[in-house]
Amino acid sequence: MIQVRLGGHGVDVEFQAASGITALFGAAGAGKTFILDAIAGFETPASGRIILDDEILFDAASRVNLPPRSRHCGYVARQWALFPHMSLHDNLLFPLAGLARLERHRRVKEMLERFALQEAAPRRPRDVSPVERLRATVARALIGEPKLLLVDEPAAGLDIALRAEWHGILRLVRDETSLPMLLAARDPETCFDLAANMLLLDAGRILQSGPPRQVLDQPVSVEAARLLGIRNLFPAEIVALDPGRNTSRLRLENFELTGPYLPGRLRGDRVWLCVEPGQLRAAPHDGAKPSLNQVPVRLERASEMPRAVRLEFAGGIVAEIARRDFEQRPKDNDNKEWMVEFPPHALRVLGCP
């Protein structure tokens, strides 16, 4: 259990985390690494208090500031930071300096087995595969039996295969130990895949926290939605609310849409409308009269994605449709006019602009 309250250096956060993975997510410079470094003791915050399992690691008021070596934190740095001049075996031995010889070797052997590193152990970090480097980094962070694992996720250098391995390693640690883990995540998928909780950070503040699914489904504000990479954010005005038919009417810049009833909102409220690109339906305009929530728009760009085609329309509307649907569209005319449908159930409304 870690309790953190931090201020200074452009950061002002307060949170706690129990066992399992808590992801810190935000744009670069949002303060993720600073928070991890402050907990590890590399940075000194201006104010606040950090408590790990009833031990005060840092308290600005009473001037407690334990050095990193006494904080019992494991730290996986973004740059991995395996000592390049030592073999993996010696890297694992490094944290055990205070223990008896036999105990040291027993622990190293155990850890090498657990992370399948026996083969690579006598080699130096640059001579082993990236997967082994990742495993060794995590093994070294765990071998001193920390009470908390801090993970600054490597941003670059993780290709798709390695990313899967990486998630596998983190999942293993999460499931085999009861450690609280703080993970500075670089993308929402990692949070979604691994974390029990996420903290959405923006400019040193927590915008939103909660289970990743909830955060991704219901961003509290337009800033939160932008950070999460949600496309299709439009300013809108509520022009009608009908609780009887459970509908609302929203006026956007160039058109009006029918949405679900919005409890707690008033007519005339200005809000942000948000739609997942995958939930929009799009088809070339065949000249038919638009039906409910269909809007004729001009296609500006179509880009291929691994499993879909992303269509960007005038007015900043982005839709993603299955590749097959895109390829089977009528090819007879080079029509740039499309019809986009906003299904009412897919419309979400966020705070005030």
- Residue partners of 189: CB distance under 8 A and separation at least 6: none
Pairing assessment for the beta strands 180-185 and 197-202 based on DSSP bridges: unpaired
Nearer to other proteins, 42 or 261 (CB): 42
Nearer to other proteins, 73 or 297 (CB): 73
Binding of residue 50 to other proteins (CB under 8 A) = no
Of the candidate spans 91-99, 202-210, 216-224, 335-343, the one that interacts with other proteins by CB under 8 A turns out to be: 91-99
Nearer to other proteins, 66 or 172 (CB): 66
Binding of residue 100 to other proteins (CB under 8 A) = no
> Would you give the DSSP letter of residue 345?
G
Taking the C-alpha atoms of residue 218 and residue 342, their distance in angstroms, rounded to an integer, is 18
Torsions phi, psi of 213, nearest 5?
-60, -45
Binding of residue 89 to other proteins (CB under 8 A) = no
Taking the C-alpha atoms of residue 317 and residue 300, their distance in angstroms, rounded to an integer, is 10
Binding of residue 74 to other proteins (CB under 8 A) = yes
Tell me how many residues contact other proteins (CB under 8 A).
Answer: 25
Cβ–Cβ < 8 Å for 248, 204: no
Structure tokens at 337: 């006019």
**Interacting residue with other proteins among 98, 244, 264, 330 (CB under 8 A):** 98
Q: Angle 258-213-194 (CA atoms, 0-180°, nearest 5)?
A: 155
**Interacting residue with other proteins among 78, 104, 105, 205 (CB under 8 A):** 78
Of the candidate spans 76-84, 250-258, 322-330, 343-351, the one that interacts with other proteins by CB under 8 A turns out to be: 76-84
Torsions phi, psi of 42, nearest 5?
-80, -25
Q: Cα separations (Å) of 350 from 124, 180, 208, 218, 271?
A: 52, 32, 13, 8, 6
Cβ–Cβ < 8 Å for 61, 5: no
Binding of residue 101 to other proteins (CB under 8 A) = no
**Interacting residue with other proteins among 79, 118, 129, 214 (CB under 8 A):** 79
Binding of residue 68 to other proteins (CB under 8 A) = yes
**What are the DSSP calls for 184-242, one per residue?**
EESSHHHHHHH-SEEEEEETTEEEEEE-HHHHHHS-SSHHHHHHTT---EEEEEEEEEE
Among candidates 307, 182, 44, which has minimal Cα distance to 57?
44
Restricting to residues 137-176, which ones interact with other proteins according to CB under 8 A?
140-141, 144
**What are the DSSP calls for 32-101, one per residue?**
HHHHHHHHHTSS--SEEEEEETTEEEEETTTTEE--GGGS-EEEEBTTB---TTS-HHHHHHGGGTTS-H
Least distance to other proteins from the beta carbon of 142, Å? 11
Nearer to other proteins, 72 or 109 (CB): 72
Restricting to residues 271-330, which ones interact with other proteins according to CB under 8 A?
none
**Interacting residue with other proteins among 95, 154, 259, 277 (CB under 8 A):** 95
Site string for other proteins, 7-46 (x = CB under 8 A): ------------------------------x--xxx----
Of the candidate spans 95-103, 221-229, 234-242, 286-294, the one that interacts with other proteins by CB under 8 A turns out to be: 95-103
**Interacting residue with other proteins among 51, 81, 206, 283 (CB under 8 A):** 81
Binding of residue 83 to other proteins (CB under 8 A) = yes
Residue 18 CB-density burial (10 A; 0-12 exposed, 13-18 middle, 19+ buried): exposed
Binding of residue 261 to other proteins (CB under 8 A) = no
Of the candidate spans 24-32, 62-70, 211-219, 276-284, the one that interacts with other proteins by CB under 8 A turns out to be: 62-70
Q: Which residues bind other proteins (CB under 8 A)?
A: 37, 40-42, 67-69, 71, 73-75, 77-79, 81, 83-85, 94-95, 97-98, 140-141, 144
